[in-house]
Amino acid sequence: MLPHSKNTVLLVDDDADFRQYVAVMLKHLSLNFLHASDGMEALSYCHAQKPGLIFTDINMPVLDGYDFIIKLREVDMAIPIIAMSSEEGGLQKALVHGANAILEKSFSQDVISNCVKKYLLS
């Protein structure tokens, strides 16, 4: 089994512009980014690339964030997962399914940078 990459972040969201927005906000941390548009694509990356941290949206086509978290936790408990959503409520369910933390999508650069520092760079 490959070790988790301490400088690779997987961004999972069906909105490509949002994935790029997050990558730009974290650019100053000199990280590598993988981009997935749904949970199924993200699972493939997790098995092949072993990112060190995952930010995942909840509402996505093909495989939503909840089911992605459940499926990943069946095989890997170590990768930190931050669940994100623009909808109020529902994020607590992500914690029950195995997410390490939750963020409402109105987060600031400082908030998301602190998540990376806590779960990946510490």
Interatomic CA distance for residues 80 and 78, integer angstroms: 6
The residue among 97, 96, 69, 102 whose CA lies nearest residue 83 is 102
Give the chain's count of helices (H) and strands (E).
5, 5
Interatomic CA distance for residues 111 and 116, integer angstroms: 9
pLDDT of residue 3: 66
The residue among 48, 55, 17, 14 whose CA lies nearest residue 33 is 55
Domains of the chain with CATH codes: 5-119 (3.40.50.2300)
Instruction: Copy the structure tokens of residue 115.
Output: 């998540």
Q: Over the chain, what is the mean pLDDT?
A: 92
Interatomic CA distance for residues 62 and 56, integer angstroms: 14
The residue among 59, 82, 68 whose CA lies nearest residue 39 is 68
What pTM did the predictor assign? 0.93
Query: Which region, left, alpha or beta, applies to residue 60 given φ > 0 means left and ψ of -120 to 50 means alpha?
Result: beta
Instruction: Kindly report, residue by residue over 4-48, the tens digit of the pLDDT.
Output: 678 899 999 999 999 999 999 998 998 999 999 999 999 999 988
